[in-house]
Amino acid sequence: MEASLTARDRVGIQDFVLLDAYTSESAFLDNLRKRFHENLIYTYIGTLLVSVNPYKELDIYSKKQMDTYMGVNFFELPPHIYALADNVFRTMLSEFNNHFILISGESGAGKTEASKKILQFYAVSCPSTRLLNNVRDRLLLSNPVLEAFGNAKTLKNDNSSRFGKYMDIQFDHQGGAVGGHILSYLLEKSRVVHQNHGERNFHIFYQLVEGGEEELLRWLGLERNCQHYSYLVQGDCAKVSSINDKSDWRTVRKAFSVIDFSENDIEHLFGIIASVLHLGNIKFEADTRGYATLSHNQEMQWVSKLLGIPAQVLQQGLTHRKIEARTEEVLSPFSVEHAVYARDALAKAIYGRTFNWLVNKINESLANQDSSRKMVIGLLDIYGFEVFNVNSFEQFCINYCNEKLQQLFIQLTLKSEQDEYEMEGIEWEPVPYFNNKIICDLVEEKYRGIISLLDEECLRPGEATDLTFLEKMEEKIGGHPHFVTHKLADQKTRKTLERGDFRLLHYAGEVTYCRFFPFLLKVMRQSKNAIIKHCFPSTEPDSKKRPETVVTQFKSSLVGLTDILMSKEPWYVRCIKPNEAKQPGRFDDVLVRHQVKYLGLMEHLRVRRAGFAYRRKYEIFLQRYKPLCPDTWPNWRGTAAEGVRRLVKHLGYKSDEYKMGRTKIFIRHPRTLFATEDAFQVCKHKLATRIQAKYKGYRVKGDYMKQREAATKIENCWRGLMARKEREKRAWAVKVIKKFIKGFMTRNQPACIDNSEYLAYVRQNYLTRLRENLPKTVLEKDFWLTPPPIMHEVSQILKKLYIRHMVRKYVRGIAPQRKAQVQSTICHAQLPPTFTRTLCYSVPVVKYDRNGFRPRLRQLIFTQEAAYLVEEAKIKQRIDYSSLKGVSVSNLSDNFLILHVTCDDIKQKGDLVLQCDYLFEALTKLCVVTDKQNCIKVVMGSVRFDIQPGREGFVDFKSGQESMVYRAKNGHLTVVGEELRQY
């Protein structure tokens, strides 16, 4: 209630009791529509829950939502089916009494889904043990089984319950689910043999045909095609986009295993379902005398096999009637029409009794093993009021059931309200409402009601027809204001009635309403199918006794249901269908108005108001609104009733605006409560601001004091620590400086205690500087760091070792006579005199052509200005050092080098690809002559070179045991060599 007050302007009124114009249907519909368009499908009328089917998935049923609503006050959170379920559960535990939840509404309004949500909530919220979890799983999985056998697609709903279901959930004193029991009412058996256009048979038939395993279908004699079975195609919609028969079949099979159905039970059960399909395919033909005979015997053989009945006996039962005449029995043959009727009657009876067996079997699985007293919450998912173009016998029974439940609903609502007023000492003000007792009497009154007349007509001698029954009703109840026939109607009404129809004026509107042969009982008793034998016991009364009609049996079961409900505390969920097209977001005012009328929501609202819009216990009212009065804020020391009296006096309530009961305050008008709530919201913000300011100041001051104290402690500790470190550092520095000075003064004396550390420092300092200033090349070997006197001898040894290492590294592999060879090569080269004057170095090389990579012997000569590639006395190519971009070598022992030069003119030659046996020597000399220490680049893998401007080539270096040079298929020069070892 409190939550609904604060949200009333944004999403309408969450509780219709607070609707100011509570007598206006238009205001009621406006509020419902406003909430529906905001996806708020739940609204309260007191503790009654109104649910509008959204026809789409809403994210309001998660485990998190369940946890939110567990143990919370009913009106504390927005309306939800979880709030109702939780309140019923907690009330049961606190009061130790039994309750029931009546879920009603039109077909397609969401009754079955509401029932599922309540079961799922209890499955999560109840205590969990291994035994309780087993019971919980059986309760949950009984739903898909009953839906498969009892639900079907209709014009109004793809998953319409074609039977009424009342389920008792049994709880122990701790709230654990320990058992359950199911009662079923009026299964629509006629659907087994006939469906209107756009409708289907019961789901299980399609699930078996579409989802059954191949081996199972072969054993049952079925084909995976619904079109082959007469009982499945009359509605011409075997396939429905919103239904997945294969997936539903797997769910049903899993449910059977959890509910403890034996393999034998399942085998017999599916055998019966298949036998019904085969029965529907049995055809009859007329013989020469007009009697019915079977047109072919294959389907009969399958029925005989699956039901365990001799084929001859079954065939005789479908084509003959046994007449008992004193001491003898005579077989009377059927016409084709009667044989078809007998076949369909047998199919309906088999399915109807099997459904009852299935419910009883589930009840055995759900039975509570503990015989001690348990508390119960009942769930009644009953068919809604139905009006079709053609309304059959089933619709008559369904609408009669809704009349009785509406009567019960008003009685229980009036009674609970009147009891509350009497308990609180408030004078009860009579509430006008439509009493539908007159309609219930019209149907069920003894000797004069429609049911009594139907019983009498069905059991009288002679042939009873619809017309004879209509004549009897016109004779007995012709003057009733809620009964109309073609004969009794005025001229205008007759145009809307056929001669064989009759019309009842129900509380929800006007509805126009447009046997199984005993011999077949004896035939079915011969069955070897365990389920059929159970459904057709030999102890069943025979045809000599006067049987009850179906409608009388239904009336008796309805009376039993009424007794059950009267013994429990009621809770209500009213489901509303917003449109006939099942479209999300569409709200049909005419359709919703009609449902609001026949669900009795306006009557319930008027009863719930009964002159007072709001009632709340004194403690709760005072706790919420005490900030509005200085006398009650912040704490009230007296009784809650006296505090409320002081509070409403301060707020200026007039005497006719409220009443004080024994434990509750009653407020007459919503506007009074809204004014109080608005004042509370303003006051709440002011109080919140003051409390927030005080609290923030307190927290900030406390934090500041803590921070200041901590800062002071940290500062003291840090200063002391730093002072101690500074003192220690100074003392150490003085000591070190003294030692250094003393060591310096005695540095030339033999090593002793005074100068040992200084001398060690000198040695370490020299070695460190030497490491950083070692010669980088052989050419720099004469540059050596001057040592101090103490390190002179050691320095000479290190210098010799290092030079030897460098010489070994760069000269290793060069023959001793190499110098003479180089000098001889330079002298004998037939070069111009200008070359010989500036010549620095010469070495023989193998030059690889740029096109084709053919090897050519050449001489590489370095002068002061340029490098030359010479063949005898002919200069092949001149390379100025200024145009030399770099030199590429590999990390292998292949002796290859590539001289990269700048090519600006297309006529110029490109890079040189050479192989030199004295590679290290040539590279060292090149670096010295060109003064380019960093021009050499060691490459791995592949290197690119310019053949000429705009053309490029590649040299690929590969590691191998054997040295090779060849041109690869990709046009690259491939060089294979060993990896160089490190020295």
Give mean pLDDT, residues 769-790.
77
- Residue 815 has what pLDDT? 41
Vertex 417: Cα angle to 28 and 36 (nearest 5): 25
Mean pLDDT, rounded, for 410-422: 70
What length does the chain have?
983
Lowest mean pLDDT among 286-290, 341-345, 777-781: 777-781
Examine the domain organization and report whether 657 and 623 are in the same domain: yes
pLDDT above 70 coverage of the chain, percent? 78
Residue 821, both tokens: 């060879």
Q: Round to whole Å and give the CA distance between 797 and 810.
A: 20
* pLDDT value of position 316: 81
Between CA 438 and CA 432 the distance in angstroms is: 16
Question: Is 452 annotated in some ligand binding site?
Answer: no
Cα–Cα dist 8/10, whole Å: 6
- Tell me which amino acid residue 245 is: D
Residues 862 and 784 in one domain: no
Tell me how far apart the 2 most distant CA atoms of the chain are, in Å: 157
> What pLDDT sits at residue 837?
61
Q: Which single residue is written with the structure tokens 């090389």? A: 845
Catalytic site includes residue 930: no
Buried b (16+ CB within 10 A) or exposed e, 865-887: ebbbbbeeeeeebebebeebeeb
Q: Please tell me the total count of domains within the chain.
A: 5
Q: Give the pLDDT score at 728.
A: 92
pLDDT at 235 (0 to 100): 86
If we measure between CA atoms, which residue out of 814, 762, 749 comes closest to residue 788?
A: 762
Q: Which of 12, 108, 150, 953 is catalytic?
A: 108
Are 166 and 66 contained in the same domain? yes
Single-letter amino acid code for the residue at 325: A
- Whether residue 904 is predicted with pLDDT greater than 50 in this model: the reply is yes
pLDDT number for residue 200: 92
Same domain, 83 and 219: yes
SS3 710: helix
CA angle in degrees (0–180, nearest 5) for 474-477-478: 50
The verdict on whether 160 is a catalytic residue reads yes
Looking at residue 15, what is its pLDDT? 83
Q: Supply the pLDDT for residue 110.
A: 87
Using pLDDT thresholds of 50, 70 and 90, give the confidence band for residue 538.
Answer: low
759 located within any domain: yes
> Mean pLDDT over residues 439-465, rounded?
66
In this predicted structure, the answer to whether residue 526 has a pLDDT above a threshold of 60 is no
Cβ atoms of 740 and 747 closer than 8 Å: no
Distance separating alpha carbons of residues 791 and 803, to the nearest angstrom: 18
Residue 148's φ and ψ, nearest 5 degrees, are -65, -40
Q: Dump the DSSP string for 327-391.
A: TEEEEEEPPHHHHHHHHHHHHHHHHHHHHHHHHHHHHHHH--S--S--EEEEEEE-PPP---SSB
pLDDT band at residue 814 using 50, 70 and 90 as cut-offs: very low
In a domain, 456, yes or no: yes
Q: What mean pLDDT is predicted for residues 314-338? A: 73
- Asked whether the predicted pLDDT for residue 222 surpasses 70, the reply is yes
Annotated catalytic residue: which of 147, 188, 199, 386?
386
Helix (H), strand (E) at residue 868: strand 866-871
Q: Are 85 and 120 in contact (CB under 8 A)?
A: no
Look at residue 34 in the predicted model and tell me its pLDDT: 92
Q: How many CB atoms lie within 10 A of CB 864?
A: 10
Active site residue 108: yes
51 pLDDT band, cuts 50/70/90, is very high
pLDDT, tens digit (0-9, with 9 covering 90-100), for 906-920: 667 888 999 998 888
Rounded Cα distance between 4 and 677, Å, is 11
Q: Which of 460-474, 525-539, 924-938 has the lowest mean pLDDT?
A: 525-539
- In the set 104, 157, 365, 512, the catalytic residue is 157
Q: 204 φ, ψ to 5°?
A: -60, -35
β-sheet bridge partners, residue 842: 861
Do 462 and 316 lie in a common domain?
A: no
pLDDT of res. 816:
47
Domain boundary, last residue among 809, 826, 850: 809
The residue segments making up the domain with residue 877 are 839-977
Residues whose CB is less than 8 angstroms from the CB of residue 412 and which lie 6 or more positions away in sequence, other chains included = 565, 566, 570
| Residue 916 backbone zone (phi > 0: left; psi -120 to 50: alpha; other: beta) | beta
Picking from 684, 715, 746, the residue at the C-terminal end of a domain is 715
Say if residue 108 carries a ligand binding annotation: yes
Check whether 566 has a pLDDT greater than 90.
Answer: no
pLDDT at residue 539, as a whole number? 52
972 lies in a domain? yes
Q: Is 106 annotated as a binding residue?
A: yes
- Give the start-end residues of each E strand in 215-363: 284-286, 292-294, 320-325, 328-333
**Within 10 A of 313 (CB to CB), how many other CB atoms are there?**
15
Whether residue 56 is predicted with pLDDT greater than 80 in this model: the reply is: yes
Peptide bond into 54 cis (omega under 30): no
At 174-209, the pLDDT tens digits run 888 888 888 887 788 888 888 888 889 999 999 999
| Weakest-pLDDT range from 939-943, 944-948, 978-982 | 978-982
For the chain, the straight-line distance linking the first and the last C-alpha, in angstroms and rounded, comes to 92
**What is the predicted pLDDT for the residue at 619?**
82
CATH number at residue 190: 3.40.850.10
Choice between 207 and 678, residue whose per-residue pLDDT is larger: 207
pLDDT band at 874, cuts 50/70/90?
Answer: confident
| Catalytic residue of the set 31, 53, 112, 143 | 112
Q: Does the annotation list 221 as a binding residue?
A: no
Helices (H) and strands (E) in the chain, counts: 32, 31
Nearest one of 16, 109, 34 to 591, comparing CA atoms: 109
Distance between CA atoms of residues 334 and 517, nearest Å: 12
State the pLDDT at residue 201: 92
Q: What is the CA radius of gyration of the chain?
A: 52
Tell me what pLDDT residue 955 has: 92
pLDDT digits (tens, 9 = 90+) for 659-674: 788 888 877 776 777 7
111 annotated among ligand-binding-site residues: yes
pLDDT over 80 (residue 323) = no
pLDDT at residue 707, as a whole number: 92
Is the confidence at residue 245, as pLDDT, over 80?
Answer: yes
User: Residue 328: is its pLDDT beyond 70?
Assistant: no
To the query of whether residue 107 is one of the catalytic residues in this protein, the response is yes
Based on the fold, state whether residues 255 and 372 are members of the same structural domain: yes
Rounded-to-integer distance, Cα 204 and Cα 273, Å: 8
Does a structural domain hold residue 973? yes
Any domain includes 913: yes
Q: Please name which of 111, 148, 126, 98 lies closest in space to residue 259, comparing C-alpha atoms.
A: 148
Q: Output the pLDDT for position 525.
A: 43
Range of weakest confidence among 129-133, 209-213, 238-242 = 129-133
Position 102 confidence tier, pLDDT thresholds 50, 70, 90: confident
Residues 51 and 122 in one domain: yes
| Mean pLDDT taken over the chain | 79
| Alpha-carbon span 776 to 783, nearest angstrom | 10
Lowest mean per-residue pLDDT among 17-21, 232-236, 491-495, 977-981? 491-495
Does the pLDDT value for residue 381 go beyond 70?
yes
Asked if residue 329 and residue 437 are part of one domain, the reply reads: no
Of residues 4, 104, 154, 161, which has the active-site annotation? 161
Single out the catalytic residue among 51, 87, 107, 142: 107
Distance of CA 904 to the CA centre of its chain: 71
Mean pLDDT (whole number) for 14-20? 82
Higher pLDDT, 227 or 666: 227
Indicate the helix (H) or strand (E) that contains 858.
strand 855-863
Q: What is the pLDDT of residue 982?
A: 44
Q: Are residues 456 and 489 in the same domain?
A: yes
Q: Which residues pair with 150 in a beta bridge?
A: none
pLDDT of 817 strictly over 50: no
Output the six-digit token pair for 522: 């004896």
3-state secondary structure of 282: coil
CB 231 within 8 A of CB 303: no
Per DSSP bridges, beta strands 896-901 and 884-890 are: antiparallel
35-39, 133-137, 482-486, 956-960: least confidently modelled range:
482-486
CA atoms within 13 A on the CB side of 223: 9
Q: Let me know if residue 750 belongs to a domain.
A: no
* Known catalytic membership, residue 959: no
Residues whose CB is less than 8 angstroms from the CB of residue 91 and which lie 6 or more positions away in sequence, other chains included: 99, 569
Model confidence at 517, in pLDDT bands (50, 70, 90)?
A: very low
Residues 569 and 629 in one domain: no
Is 110 annotated in a binding site? The answer is yes
Q: Which is more confidently placed, 981 or 814?
A: 981
Question: Which pLDDT belongs to residue 500?
Answer: 63
Consecutive H or E run containing 976: strand 973-977
Question: Is residue 290 annotated as part of the catalytic site, yes or no?
Answer: no
Answer yes or no: is 587 within a domain: no
pLDDT score recorded for residue 350: 87
Q: Is residue 720 part of a domain?
A: no
Of the residues 538, 569, 597, which one is the last residue of a structural domain?
538
Same domain? 66 vs 139: yes
- pLDDT higher than threshold 70 for residue 384: no
| pLDDT tens digits, 106-163 | 878 888 889 889 888 888 888 776 666 777 778 788 888 888 998 898 887 888 888 8
The larger pLDDT score, comparing residue 540 to residue 104, is at 104
The pairing of strands 884-890 and 936-939 is parallel
Q: Does residue 478 have a known ligand-binding role? A: no
Distance CA 194, CA 317 (A): 22
pTM, two decimal places: 0.60
Do 872 and 919 have their domain in common? yes
Q: Residue 866: is its pLDDT beyond 80?
A: yes
